Structure 1
Amino acid sequence: MSNPIDHLTTLGRYQPPAPTRESTVLSADGARISAEVHGPEDAPAVVLAHGWTCSVAFWAAQIRDLAGRFRVIAYDQRGHGGSPLHAPVGTEQLADDLEAVLAATLAPGEKAVIAGHSMGGMTVMAAAGRPVFREHAAAVLLCSTGASALVPESTVLPLRKGGVRTWLTGQILGSPLPIGGRPTAVSRRILKYGTMGAGSTPQMVEACARVVHACPTRARRAWSHVLASLELAEGVRRLDVPTEVIVGAVDRLTPPVHARSLAGELPDCLGLTELPGIGHMTPVEAPDVVTDRIASLAAAHLPPGTTAGGKTEKPGTTKESAA
């Protein structure tokens, strides 16, 4: 019997929309970063930073829902999507690339809400003390992310926490084996188990599978080593803008222990939301919740008359239903 997902011809709200404009931003070391802008040029700005093995396409639901009210800026991390892999890779480069995007797409002094998922959240923490980030960040949403001990805390493998699980998890996440460009029934099942909640729909799984499978093996492996040794405690302490934290209650890659730690350490944490039944892919699994949090932060922390005029391009814990 064929898998019904094989006949899926549309991803619906997860189909990446066409941008208003596209640009290539040069980072500090010459890396070419692909960026997209969606929505009215004179609207308040929202900036989206995706996670490991993903791309701008991962934010399709948020872009579709927000672009009517906001200028949505999304970019591909180096080695992902339209941004070529450029050595070296590390937390400094994550911060460099975000700063370059902010400087190129926002007017001097213009504020934006910045949302980061997984490695995108780590990007925000890495950049927290940087001048350009501090110039432009009005508020932050951290989705399914952590600041340290990512591999030891991962529960992708159903083993007791300890050295054996940590070593095996590191080997899996850093595997040099290619995933392949086209999702299969087996790869979809593996992806769903490792990164999503059991209630994720076939459309959600397919959207995530297409994005993850498109990530080149070299980039996936290079960034896995960065994540394995991640230490961003100082970045958390420097992230002193209003910040909300969201995590899936059954997230195996960045379990809720990370979100709770962030909520306790952030200087201005507005709250932590744990979503029952949701895994690591919160913007896809709980798109309305993530979109609502971004819009609420914008309403509270961005002037409604914010415009992009004059910019130039340059080289408290709660549990909530995800329904």
Structure 2
Amino acid sequence: MTTPIAQIPDPVRVFEAVSADGSRLHVEAYGPDGAPAVVLAHGWTCNTAFWADQIADLAADHRVVVYDQRGHGVSPAGTPEDYCAEALADDLEAVLDTALEPDQRAVLAGHSMGGMTLMAASGRPAFRAHAAAALLCSTGASRLVADARVVPLRAGRLRTGLTRRVLGARAPLGPVTPLSVRLLHYGTMGPGAAKDRVRRCVEMVHACPRGARTGWSRVLDTLDLELSVRELTVPTAVVCGDADRLTPPVHARRIADALPDCVDLTVLPGVGHMSPVEAPEAVTAAIRALTAAHLERTEEVA
């Protein structure tokens, strides 16, 4: 028996954060004022609803902040030049400075491109001022295209080239069809993922504007955040699925080895790339463990 996808409660606050280049980001806050704060950054082609299960659970006793990455959800798209790792870091800084009090710290969690956002921002002043701990879910720091296994071939130039074409395809996705569900299930989720959760993720990917999808795919193709991982000095947990074809466990292990303070590495059996949707209880538990061990203790000391 599978757990139904949680219904997101009404946000207590909806607002915008303005990034360094003037880009406006849609931000939502849930849960009581004064509760331990958690900031969640979604991945490529997703939006705030990706975190539905985490919002529904954590908002009971946490302040949960989610935002749409630029070009995703209801955050406006920019020009192709607006998509870069620096923009990811700028945007997260803007969200942290807008959503949190000047001396407020939070646990930051990022999935896929959201995890790359945390890594890209690791040396930024706002990150260092607000981050008490971090969770990196199903993400990588470099070699994203070369290591991806969405094309069922042996590693090499042919697989890398075909993967680049698949991930960077400019064709519109169109309506959700049984074929698109099967293809995206294969590429992004584990074989045992519940049908309603597969459907939710497929609808999210199809809803992502084509310009943002292709623009960010070019960024991910050449991304190299290896040095940024070493600047992520807060206590950090890493979660991945052993059936992840987009960011296979080799990425999680590299990140864990490079982190200055890796507090945990969890590999979830049978789980694909969409770990917060496929294994919501495990991801939520990892966030709660970080707030209990690092954030609440920090608030008490402060």
Give the structure 2 partner of residue 154 of structure 1.
148
- Matches of 1:301 and 1:196 in 2, distance apart? 31
- Matches of 1:162 and 1:16 in 2, distance apart? 43
Give the structure 2 partner of residue 7 of structure 1.
none
Among 46, 64, 76, the alignment partner of 1:84 is 76
- Matches of 1:192 and 1:268 in 2, distance apart? 34
May I ask how many residue pairs the two structures share in their alignment?
296
Give the structure 1 partner of residue 284 of structure 2.
291
Question: The residue matched to 2:5 in structure 1 has which SS?
Answer: helix
Conserved in 2, the CA contact under 8 Å of 1:44 and 1:304?
no
Give the structure 1 partner of residue 45 of structure 2.
53
Equivalent residue letter for 2:54: Q
- Runs of 4+ in structure 1 over 4 Å off: 304-307
TM-score under structure 1 length normalisation: 0.89
Among 221, 235, 238, the alignment partner of 2:214 is 221
Q: Deviations over 1:109-154 (max 9, x none)?
A: 2110000000000000000000010000000000000000000000
Among 222, 227, 240, the alignment partner of 2:233 is 240
What's the CA shift for 1:19? Answer: 1.3
Among 181, 192, 198, the alignment partner of 2:185 is 192
**How is 1:165-176 mapped onto 2 (pairs within 5 angstroms)?**
165-176=159-170
Identity of aligned residues (%): 58
Q: Deviations over 1:277-308 (max 9, x none)?
A: 0000000000000000001100111127959x
Unaligned segments of structure 2, at least 5 residues? none
Conserved in 1, the CA contact under 8 Å of 2:5 and 2:197?
no
Question: The residue matched to 2:234 in structure 1 has which SS?
Answer: coil
What's the CA shift for 1:57? Answer: 0.5
- Matches of 1:16 and 1:219 in 2, distance apart? 25
Question: The residue matched to 2:139 in structure 1 has which SS?
Answer: coil
Give the structure 1 partner of residue 105 of structure 2.
111
- Matches of 1:17 and 1:97 in 2, distance apart? 25
- Matches of 1:42 and 1:233 in 2, distance apart? 35
How well do the aligned residues superpose, as a CA RMSD in angstroms? 1.4
Give the structure 2 partner of residue 263 of structure 1.
256
Conserved in 2, the CA contact under 8 Å of 1:43 and 1:305?
no
Conserved in 2, the CA contact under 8 Å of 1:13 and 1:64?
no
Conserved in 2, the CA contact under 8 Å of 1:246 and 1:272?
yes
What's the CA shift for 1:22? Answer: 0.5
Conserved in 1, the CA contact under 8 Å of 2:7 and 2:56?
no
Give the structure 2 partner of residue 123 of structure 1.
117
Unaligned segments of structure 1, at least 5 residues? 1-10, 308-323
